Structure 1
Amino acid sequence: MIGKEWVLTEATTPTATTPPAAPIRKMPHREDIHGLRGLGIVLVVAYHLWTNGRVSGGVDVFLIISAYLMTASMVRKGRAFRLITFLIQRFRRLVPQAAIVIAATLAVGWFFLPPSRQPVLLQHAQSSLFYVENWALIEQTINYTAVDPGRVSPFQHFWSLSVQGQVFVIWPLVFLLGVFVAAALKARLRIVLAVLFGGVTVASFAYAQWALHVDRSAAYFDTWARFWEFSLAGLLALVPRMTMPRRVAIPLGWAGLGAVLATGFLVGRDPFPGPATLFPALGAAAVMVADLHSTDRRDAAYWLSRRPVTFIANRAYALYLWHWPVYAYWMSLTEGHSDRLSVGGSVIVIGVSLILADLSTRLVERRFHRMEVLASKRGALSAIAVFVIIVVGLVEGMTRVLDSDVARTQAGNNPGARVLTPGATPEQASATPTSPSTTPVRGVAPGDSVIGGDWPHPAARCEGLDPMPPEFPTGNCYEVRPEGEPTRTVVLVGDSHSWQWSTVLVPMAVERGWHLIMPNHPRCRVTLENPWSDATCLEYSRAVVDYIVATRPDQVVTIGSRAQAVGPELEVETYAEAIRPVSDAGITVVNIRDNPRWTFAMPECVQRWGVNSPRCTAPLADKLGDAWPPPALAEQPNVRFLDFTDQICPSGLEGNCPGVIGNVYVYMDDNHLSRTYVLSLQDVFAERWDQVVG
């Protein structure tokens, strides 16, 4: 039997021959769905704080509930549905609280985070405000040169809100397409929508499996890979509410609730949004289909309607918004480099998050949103615009301050490695090799806020070469080609540690008329099969060696060792044998020694603790070995060696390796030399090149 109060009617537009449609009925408040929302946020917070990367399924529960209620509302309205009204009212409820959290997160970051993290903070704030944070995170995961690609953003949790915001625009358009098709075919709207939603579900689910195969991290944030969760809930919303026998409904409700609770334990390490996502999605669907009552202790709905759960459910949106920045800042400011939250930290993070969530719920949801002026479209649009303008203005103002600081720094005395050169000018010598500071450092070139993006400037893309150098999807090929006949051809190969030396090789090539070719591949050096290199790297290695032997350049430049953040310096895995065909062919191989690596971002460390802090330095003996070149390479013919360790760690083997030399950051992150510092090595590099290579 269909419960009368649950029937979802299709409204029709009044005509001259039909009476006006009855007022559209609202779906009565369902305590089981409301409690499920509260349970979902509890799972999200708990898993974020304590499980170190395991997926709880709570976000998927949110998506299912949101899509179910939205679709049910649209179906009830039928052809009376109005897109603009829907969007204005939906974002009127979402934007104010989100904008308040974004503004507060920016303010805390401005005062407590080091400058190197602030540009990324501003970027993610803007992406979150305009509901594209998921795409910003995807760009960060696939872009090797992204600033701090491994750094967790205080806005990272906005990815799911961004997905929802995008679907809130797209899904009504899908619904209206169904309305149009149903009218054109004179078919029942529910049947047309069922076919449409079913097709979307299958297509999106198939796409999700493909996306997971290509890039698991990117697929997790991909709107199109998540779209099937909304369409699946949309299909559920098309089913009229019915009274199910309790001997069936009670076990179904408990099975659904159990699936939601067990998701993190059973499939929390599986790829999402793959088949594992069906666990929380179908679990939430089962609870909603069971449609149980909150007065019977035997029902799952009874326990979902208890006060502790409903207290959280009433604050679910605000708690989701607040808990992640509170957690991220607490870890950044108090827990050092650890990724584990202590017991005391857990109490503080949860307590502060709940207080902030309660305040913003009371002041915004229960007071602001009930203001009479917001009931009109004009009032709601004005409210949205005001909050957006406040955050955009805040971002713009902070950006201008950072830009001003960078300009002032770059206009200062920043000799970098030139202070280590005998005969340095008095102005250069006035910038001490290492800032004698154990307090936070500011005003270091190229600028405290831009150092995280101080990569080499790319040259022109390789074009018209015959044969063309190997190029792979994650790599690039750049070149410097003289106008006339080149004086020599030099090929720079390998990973980003090779590419960082393009900063000095490019101007040398321009000045000396070289043809410089640079086919690089991130995280891959020339190698044979070994436990650390994947199939793409091995393919790149074989292809680039074949290319070099076939084209016979004058010199090949690469990195000939591998420093480690923890542990001794290593010879590059199987590098000696992999590069042997090149040296045996009579081509000169120039090996540059690797630079020290760290377990932390060096610029951020010196900005927080100072150059001489034990947190931000270590003896050279702990970073690099005392033997160079490696024996396996020293025996090969046509191999030359360059070592700039004395320019990076100028105190020698028993001294410390600093993060700042000559008022220039030596590193841009935890392992790459900054472009600005390498540029200051230009004269030394050219001199040693001429001595060793000629």
Structure 2
Amino acid sequence: MTHPYPVLPHVSDRPSPPPKAAKPGYRPEVQGLRALAVLMVASYHIWLGRVSGGVDVFLLISAFLLSLSFIRKGEAGRGLQLGHYWTHVFNRLLPAAAVVIVGTLAATVLFVPRSRWAEIFSQAWSSLLYVQNWALAADSVDYYAADHSIASPFQHFWSLSVQGQVFVLWPLLFALSAVIARLAHKRFRSVVFCVFGTVFAVSLAFSVHETYTNQAHAYFDTRTRLWEFAFGTLLALAIPYLKPVRGIRVAAGWLGLAAILSGGFILDVQGQFPGFVALWPLVAAALVIVAGQTGSRLGADRFLSWRPLVRMGDMSYALYLWHWPILVIYLAWRGRQEVGLVGGALILGLSLILAALTTRFVEKPLRAREKRGTWGRAALVMAACVAVVAVPLASGQFLLKAADDRLLAEAEINYPGARVLAPDYDGEPTGVPVRAVSSTDPDSWGRLPLACSEVPDGPTDPALSSICFSTTNTDSPERTILIIGSSHAQQWIEAVEPMAQAHDYRVIALLKGGCTYGAAAEWRSEDCNRFNEAATEYALELKPDAVIAVATSAMSDEAADPVVDGLPEAARKLGEGGIDVVGVRDNPRFPFNMQVCAETNGADLCTTPLMDKQSPDFPPSEDDGGMAFLDLSDLICPEGTCRPVVGNTYVFLDDNHLTTDYAASLAGEFDRRFHQSVSW
């Protein structure tokens, strides 16, 4: 079965309408470059499924034009008028953004599966408040944050957030430069060079380091992008002194243009940026800017100054804002991964139409009114834009939560889950809808009430202390159970905790996302091996009555779930310490999100035979390290068929995790089979 939802990379390209240079310094070839870049960005996203590096070109253009304006003011001794600048910039940015956010929210409700609504609503707030990049940076290093295989229609707002933050910071740095120049009796231009040269050097060094050590986070980190803006400022300082002969400028223009257009093919923009490799598009754009107006019929500027292209530059911001959500929502609605030639042309055509309408009826009228208005009027426009988004967004979140609360009020009746499989079950789920769950909701993952830092016998090893949790019955419980492992171990907390409450057992969990429990193995990360070693040492020190771990690693694309590497060795070591080890068989995994598939195509079209997901023999015949095994596959996939919904409850949270609701519905049978396996 094909993936029912678009598998798309994090977006890395969006233009932004920086403040235009004053008329005497107007650069039509730069406006044409912006238009060409946004068309390239859209084409890469729609047809090639990758990113082009165009965001770096737009960062450079934004900083270059912004800096030209402030340098002129500073050198002329005029006030920088920071308040006027900020209201001017955000009065231009917010209206179009607000229109796109509201339109995207409406399309989300109409075409996107309900399980995605909570996450998309949250990202709408991040986009409106210019913190989307930080939200994505946090998600990129948070194993539990989201299903990263599914693109968000607001994902592209990350770079607008970075630019918005820089549009606040940059004027402050120019103001600081002016103060230093006045106090030190130095030329304003010289001080600006020192200040922004320092920003460039420090940010570039930090960017290279973080890109090497944590590229996923670095990609969205404002601090790793400041040097790209500083590059534009330094270019603005240098441009009066860069006057090559016309032949060189003609060559530079075409060389820069060729490098910009080819960078996305040659470079892995998503995987290598924003380290020093990002110099490619920056230097390329700088060559075009330095080439300027050559006056040659053979110059690249003649092409970039073509009137239709310049006009396209006027609506490049709106085109960028519209093309990505249209693409993502179209793929979600159609249940596809690719759009094809015709579908892509329709998406681009609709994006162009909406961009033209947004520019004509939103951006231009408000821009003209701003020129005739006051700061107060501009601030009122910005407040209205925020309200236009905030009111329906907050209302939608309230109604969504209220609906979920109503459905949960009688959860046992409405959502029996696996309890419907019991021979003595005599109820019947009511006609309420299946409740969608989101992987971004903390309640979608098993949790225990106490952090181990709050209990006297918690681990002291730093590798464990922040990822250890416990039940509250720390004094003289009947028995103690220790759960160790990844999110696949964590999901069983919802079945283990009711058993523990019934028998006065204490439960402690050591949980590290993406890290299966077992003896050290070369394929595991150093961090994971360190966690497992520390977990084993803590278990031998704590001496729980039993350790629960996930025993197998299911494959999404073949009938196999082999025993986790190193688990028998770890079980043997724990067994020698008098600790029972119970290995729970991994749940089946799939090449697609089961919940989204059901919401998009209907539950009946998303079933898979259990025999296509697991090894034929379980428990395994090889050395098992003395483990006891626990297999609930017959309840996860009843009658040998894996279904998205059982007992009016979603079984799977995504493509490889159980929902907490379904895991909780397994508690009674988990209790019976667990005690049978350990003979307590």
Counterpart of 2:484 in structure 1: which amino acid?
V
Specify the SS of the correspondent of 1:254.
helix
SS of aligned partner of 1:561: coil
Q: Distance in 2 between matches of 1:262 and 1:156?
A: 24
Q: 1:678 to 1:542 in 2, by over 3 A?
A: same
Question: Which residue pairs with 2:636 in the alignment?
Answer: 648
| Residue equivalent to 2:449 | 459
- Alignment partner of 1:77 is 2:78: no
Q: Does 1:28 align with 2:25?
A: yes
Residue pair 2:521, 2:529 contacting (<8 A) in 1 also: no
Alpha-carbon distance change, 451 to 610 in structure 1, aligned in 2, over 3 angstroms: farther
> Which residue does the alignment assign to 1:7?
none
- In the alignment, what sits opposite 1:690? 675
Structure-2 change in CA distance of 1:27 and 1:163 (3 Å): farther
1:39 aligns with 2:29: no
1:572 and 1:687, CA in 2 relative to 1: closer, same or farther beyond 3 A? same
Q: Does 1:60 align with 2:48?
A: no
Q: Secondary structure of the residue that 1:562 maps to in structure 2?
A: coil
Task: State the one-letter code of the partner of 2:43.
Answer: A
Q: Indicate if the aligned counterparts of 1:85 and 1:377 stay in contact, CA closer than 8 A.
A: yes
2:616 aligned with 1:618 = no
Distance 2:101 2:417 in 1: 37
CA distance in 2, matches of 1:169, 1:474: 39
CA contact (8 A) 1:482 1:510 kept: no
Contact 1:445/1:676 (CA < 8 Å) preserved in 2?
A: no
Q: Is the 8 A contact 1:469 1:544 kept in 2?
A: no
What's the CA shift string for 1:129-177, capped at 9, x where partnerless?
1111111111221222224333211111111111111100011111111
Q: Residue type of the partner of 2:509? A: M
The one-letter code sitting in structure 2 at the alignment partner of 1:304 is L
Identify which range, 173-182 or 196-205, moves more after superposition.
173-182
1:531: how far off? 6.4
Conserved? CA contact 2:494–2:660, under 8 Å: yes
Shift of residue 94, structure 1, vs aligned partner:
0.9
Report how far residue 52 of structure 1 moved. Answer: 2.9
Q: Counterpart in 2 of 1:673?
A: 658
How far 1:570 moved relative to its partner?
Answer: 2.1
Query: Shift in Å at residue 502 of structure 1?
Result: 1.3
3-state secondary structure, aligned to 1:556: strand
Residue in 2 that maps onto 1:156: 155
Change (3 A) 1:343 1:260: same
Q: What residue number does 1:16 align with?
A: none
Q: How does 1:504-583 map to 2 (within 5 A)?
A: 504-528=495-519, 530=521, 532-568=523-559, 569-583=561-575
Which whole-Å CA distance do the structure 2 matches of 1:472 and 1:374 have between them? Answer: 61
Distance 1:291 1:611, change over 3 A: closer
Pairing 1:287-686 to 2, within 5 Å after superposition: 287-293=288-294, 295-334=295-334, 336-338=335-337, 340-371=338-369, 375-412=373-410, 413-424=414-425, 426=426, 429-431=427-429, 443-445=433-435, 454-463=444-453, 468=459, 470=461, 472=463, 476-528=467-519, 530=521, 532-568=523-559, 569-613=561-605, 616-634=606-624, 636-637=625-626, 639-651=627-639, 653=640, 656-686=641-671
Q: Is the 8 A contact 2:257 2:284 kept in 1?
A: yes
Assess if the C-alpha contact under 8 Å between 1:490 and 1:556 holds in 2.
Answer: yes
Give distance in 2, aligned partners of 1:537 and 1:297: 61
Instruction: Give, as a single letter, the amino acid of the residue that structure 2 aligns with 1:92.
Output: N
Shift of 1:565: 1.6
Instruction: State whether structure 2 residue 231 is matched by structure 1 residue 235.
Output: no
In structure 1, what is the equivalent of residue 106 of structure 2?
A: 107
Would you say the 8 A contact 1:118–1:449 is kept in 2?
Answer: no
Question: Is residue 234 of structure 2 the alignment partner of residue 272 of structure 1?
Answer: no
DSSP 3-state at the match of 1:221: coil
Q: Say which SS state the counterpart of residue 80 (structure 1) adopts.
A: coil
CA contact 1:114–1:604 (8 Å) conserved in 2: yes
Shift of 1:470: 5.0
- Percent identity, aligned pairs only? 37
Shift of the 139–473 alpha-carbon distance from structure 1 to 2, 3 Å rule, reads farther
Distance 2:470 2:253 in 1: 64
Q: Structure 1 residues 198 and 373, CA, compared in 2 at 3 Å: closer, same or farther?
A: closer
The 2-side partners of 1:404 and 1:141 are apart by 30
**What is the distance in 1 between the residues matched to 2:667 and 2:80?**
66
Does residue 1:186 correspond to 2:178, yes or no? Answer: no
In 2, Cα distance between equivalents of 1:531 and 1:450: 31
SS of the residue 1:493 aligns to: strand
Offset from partner CA, 1:174-197 (integer Å, 9 cap, x none): 111111111111211111110000
- TM-score, with structure 1 as normaliser: 0.89
One-letter amino acid matched to 2:467: N
Letter in 2 for 1:288: I
Q: Give structure 1 stretches of 5+ with no counterpart.
A: 1-23, 436-441
- CA distance in 2 between counterparts of 1:484 and 1:155 reads 48
Q: Which runs of 5+ in 2 are unaligned?
A: 1-20
* 1:471 and 1:477 in contact (8 A); partners too: no
Q: CA deviation at 1:122?
A: 0.9
Structure 2 CA distance for aligned equivalents of residues 450 and 534 of structure 1: 25
1:175 aligned residue: 174
The one-letter amino acid of 2:600's match is: R
The normalised TM-score by structure 2 is: 0.90
- Report the CA distance between 1:199 and its aligned residue: 0.4
**Residues 458/77 of structure 1: CA separation in 2 closer, same or farther (3 Å cut):** farther
Q: 1:337: how far off?
A: 4.6
State which structure, 1 or 2, has the greater radius of gyration over its C-alpha atoms.
Answer: 1
Aligned counterparts of 2:539 and 2:617: Cα–Cα separation in 1: 28
Cα distance in 2 for residues equivalent to 1:60 and 1:148: 27
Aligned length: 649
* Deviation (angstroms), 1:382: 1.1
Structure 2 contact 137–220 (Cα < 8 Å) conserved: yes
Q: 1:563 aligns to what SS in structure 2?
A: coil
Q: Read off the aligned partner of 1:662 and give its amino acid letter.
A: G
Preserved CA contact (<8 Å) 1:134 1:162: yes
